[in-house]
Amino acid sequence: MSKRQSRNSAQAPSRSADSFAAQKRTSPKRHGGPMGGGPAGMMLQGEKAKDFKGTMKRLLRYLGRHLPAVIAVMAMAAGSTIFMIFGPKILAGATDELFKGIMGKITGSGGGVDFGAIAQIMFKLIAFYLISAALSYVQGFIMSGVTMKVTRSLRRDINDKIHRLPFGFYDHTTHGEVLSRITNDVDTINQTMSQSLTQIITSLTSVIGFIVMMLTISWQMTLVALGIIPLSMILVISVVRKSQKHFKNQQNYLGHVNSQVEELYGSHVIVKAFNGEAAAVRAFDEQNEALYHAAWKANFLSGLMMPLANFVSNLGFVAICILGGWMAAKGNLSIGDVQAFVQYVRQFNQPISQVANISNVLQQTAAAAERVFDFLEEEDEIAETPGALSVNHGGGPDSDTLVSVSGNITFDDITFGYNAGQTVIHNFSAAIQSGKKVAIVGPTGAGKTTIVKLLMRFYDVNQGAIRVDGHDIRDFKRDELRSLFGMVLQDTWLFGGTIADNIRYGRLEATDEQVKAAAKAAQVDHFVRTLPDGYHMVLNEEASNVSGGQKQLLTIARAILADPQILILDEATSSVDTRTEILIQKAMDNLMRGRTSFVIAHRLSTIRNADLILVMREGDIVEQGKHEELLEKGGFYAQLYNSQFEDNS
């Protein structure tokens, strides 16, 4: 991260409290059935892609970046299968030698079993199996590397896309839905490529190889073996159709149960505070009971497939044994050929079931890949104009694209709404001089925070313009514009890391001395030194090992370290006690001196010394001026101010 990027904000927006409930819609629903030998191994049809061919082509383009490795994997997978297929045929020679020797001994026409010949055959068989295993191991090793590289590329592309999407995208998309793309969907793609791609090759090679080898032994017995497959498939498909709806219900109810557990776990303090345990248990029992009924029906019906398929397969096996014995008795086949054919028949069902499984797995993979590619095709932020402006931080001479900024802000008749037809800001105009402290006040929903979002260009105005030193902010590069600002929000954001790292997030290249100086200015140094490891203490994932007020102090220290030209403070002292607030206010006054500052506050007593107070109501500036001036007017600001001291009784 560059210096300018690291300074763009002292805080990031925290996760919405509603995101726990949103998890109900986050995970793609997957439906699966039993896997095993025979057509019974066919999986139930899951979520299907709308454009299977187009999606798979895009996915193959990612694989195409590693084409030599993929070709090598395919060749090794096919070679491994071919060497394995020859095993039963070679073993048939040993069986024939053993049978010939025993019969010769019985009839007295031979010298017994030729163990030397059998040993040669067995060494040949072992060599074939060793070569097959070696090729399989190498192709697995190479394919694992390829799939990890592909999934790494997908995750990197998704992560890059997250930063290019406009903020409006996240207004209608849950956090969990975005996370599902980079976790569940990419994991599905990874598993398919690492397992199914080579399995497709080995299965198809096995099916073709087994049929060829069986035909070389006996075409009559091959017809009997192939005739078993349609009957098994008819039985399995009939069961699949009946059980599919139950598997879908199982996945739906499983999602509801998981979502409810996650919601309750994330808000267990609230549940206990309002004595909601009994209601939570009842709600969970209802969902769990529904899951139970759907799950046992699905698993019972799917459990019938294997016995049914095995029954049909065994009938065919009996027919093959009878036919093979009859042909051997007539001298049309050797005992070794019958034994080899039986082995091929036993192994033949496995690749057939794998192909059936893979066809469904590919459907699920295409659905997951389609969700990923749909996300990658979302419209990016409005592109920056060629020759966009950069900020002259170094104080050198300006140029056509490099400009100095002193901090003059102008809102020129701006109008904005998050959604079409719902205007939040109406014809807002204001002029703020460099170095002035501007307070934005008003009731909840008046549009105070929206003004800040527009100023940072998280959203673009619908009409009008916001200018910094006369330059439309849309003419700046976004990262350059945001490098001017330091933000401290009411909702604190700290990441898992040391306290020093969290403060240094405001300026990544800052030294330890500069970090401590910022901490002292934010009145945070004293309590940090009382902690077990001081500045090296590691905050946990939710930073729950420090208090809310201490977290607020750390974010203020981060903003101080960033040393921005423009400050934005959104209820920055809302989580601290009165004594600490006074100390922070002094530190903030020193920090704001000489800088343009925007302060959003509900406690109006904290902004009495502001150079300009903008009073907002329903998206409009209804009053503006200094504290004393607005009180003398006796208008809306005076009502807000005096309401803080009214006796509620």
Averaged pLDDT for residues 576-603: 74
Q: Quote the pLDDT of residue 134.
A: 94
Averaged pLDDT for residues 619-647: 83
Tokens representing 60 are: 């193959």
What sections of 523-577 are H helices per DSSP?
Answer: 525-529, 548-562
Identity of the amino acid at 615: V
The neighbour count for residue 246, using CB atoms within 10 Å, is 21
CA 454, CA 337: separation in Å to the nearest integer? Answer: 81
pLDDT over 70 for what percent of the chain? 86
CA 507/CA 7 separation, integer angstroms: 6
Whole-angstrom distance, CA of residue 380 vs CA of residue 385:
14
404 has a pLDDT exceeding 50: yes
Per-position DSSP letters for 360-388, written without gaps between them: HHHHHHHHHHHHHHHHHTSPPSPPPPTT-
Measured on CA atoms in the order 94, 99, 105, 111, is the torsion positive or negative? negative
Q: Which residues are 415's β-sheet partners?
A: 463
Q: Alpha helix (H) ranges present in 377-507?
A: 448-455, 478-482, 499-504
Q: Is the distance from CB of 13 to CB of 330 less than 8 angstroms?
A: no
Q: How far apart are CA 408 and CA 468, in angstroms?
A: 6
pLDDT at 27: 37
Could you count the other beta carbons within 10 Å of the beta carbon of residue 29?
15
147 with 139: CB under 8 angstroms? no
> How far apart, in whole angstroms, are the C-alpha atoms of residue 306 and residue 514?
69
| The predicted structure's pLDDT at residue 434 | 87
Q: Any residues with CB less than 8 A from the CB of 360 and at least 6 apart, and which?
A: 42, 43, 44, 45, 46
Residues 587, 522 contacting (CB under 8 angstroms): yes
Mean pLDDT, rounded, for 135-152: 89
For range 609-628, the mean pLDDT? 85
Collapsing DSSP states into helix, strand and coil, what is residue 457? coil
Question: Minimum mean pLDDT among 181-190, 195-204, 368-377, 628-637: which range?
Answer: 195-204
Reduced DSSP (H G I as helix, E B as strand, rest coil) percent helix, strand, coil of the chain, to 5: 60, 10, 25
What one-letter code names the amino acid at 139? Answer: Q
pLDDT at 46 over 80: no
Q: Range with the lowest mean pLDDT among 71-80, 476-485, 540-549? A: 540-549
- Nearest CA to 263 out of 248, 276, 249 is that of 276
How do strand 566-570 and strand 596-600 relate by DSSP bridges? Answer: parallel
- pLDDT at position 637 is 87
* Lowest mean pLDDT across 78-82, 111-115, 433-437, 610-614: 111-115
621 by Cβ neighbours in 10 Å (0-12 / 13-18 / 19+) ranks as buried
Residue type for position 100: K
SS (H, E, C) 212-267: HHHHHHCHHHHHHHHHHHHHHHHHHHHHHHHHHHHHHHHHHHHHHHHHHHHHHHHC
**8 — pLDDT class (breaks 50, 70, 90):** very low
Tokens of 186: 């990419």
**Mean pLDDT to the nearest integer, 201-209:** 83
Among 80-89, 176-185, 391-400, 424-433, the minimum mean pLDDT is found in 391-400
- Does 611 or 360 have the greater pLDDT score? 611
With a cut of 80, say whether residue 258 has pLDDT above it: no
Question: DSSP code of 474?
Answer: G
Query: So what's the pLDDT on residue 219?
Result: 86
pLDDT of amino acid 2:
41
**354-374 mean pLDDT:** 78
The more confidently predicted of residues 351 and 413 is 413
| In contact, 562 and 506? CB cutoff 8 Å | yes
Report which residue type is found at 331: G
Residue 62 confidence (pLDDT) above 90: no
Q: How far apart are CA 593 and CA 610, in angstroms?
A: 12
Mean pLDDT of 580-608: 75
Closest CA to 600 of 613, 590, 609: 613
Q: Per-residue pLDDT for 33 more than 70?
A: no
> How sure is the predictor about 49, in pLDDT bands with cuts at 50, 70 and 90?
low
Query: By mean pLDDT, which of 1-5, 200-204, 392-396 is the weakest?
Result: 1-5
- 203, pLDDT greater than 70: yes
Comparing 465 with 324, the larger pLDDT belongs to: 465
Q: Find the range with the poorest average confidence among 30-39, 58-67, 422-431.
A: 30-39
Is the separation of the CB atoms in 465 and 472 below 8 Å?
Answer: yes
Q: How far apart (Å, rounded) are the C-alpha atoms in residues 613 and 627?
A: 7
Q: How confident is the model at residue 466 (pLDDT cuts 50, 70, 90)?
A: very high
Strands 497-498 and 596-600: unpaired
| For residues 413-433, average pLDDT | 85
pLDDT tens for residues 525-538?
888 998 888 899 88
Q: Once rounded to an integer, what is the mean pLDDT over residues 41-46?
A: 42
Predicted pLDDT of residue 7: 41
* Contact between 33 and 309 (Cβ < 8 Å): no
- Transcribe 318-355 into DSSP letters: HHHHHHHHHHHHTTSS-HHHHHHHHHHHHHHHHHHHHH
State the average pLDDT for the chain: 79
Strand partners for 410: 431, 467
Is the pLDDT confidence value at 205 over 80?
A: yes
Spatial distance between the Cα atoms of 492 and 549, rounded to a whole number of angstroms: 9
Q: pTM for this one?
A: 0.66
Find the range with the poorest average confidence among 30-34, 243-247, 292-296: 30-34
More confident residue, 3 or 594: 594
Please give the structure tokens belonging to residue 416. Answer: 């904005």
Q: Which residue has tokens 């001017």?
A: 484
What number of other Cβ atoms are within 10 A of residue 255's Cβ? Answer: 19
Distances, alpha carbon 166 to alpha carbons 163, 172, 382, 475, in Å: 8, 11, 8, 17
For 547, residues 6+ apart whose C-beta sits below 8 A from its C-beta are none
pLDDT tens digits for 91-143?
Answer: 888 887 787 777 777 777 766 777 888 888 889 889 999 998 999 899 889 98
For residues 537 and 497, the answer to whether their CB atoms sit within 8 Å is no
List, as one string, the DSSP characters of 188-199.
HHHHIIIIIHHH
**Cα distance between the two ends of the chain:** 54
What pLDDT is stored for residue 406 in this prediction? 82
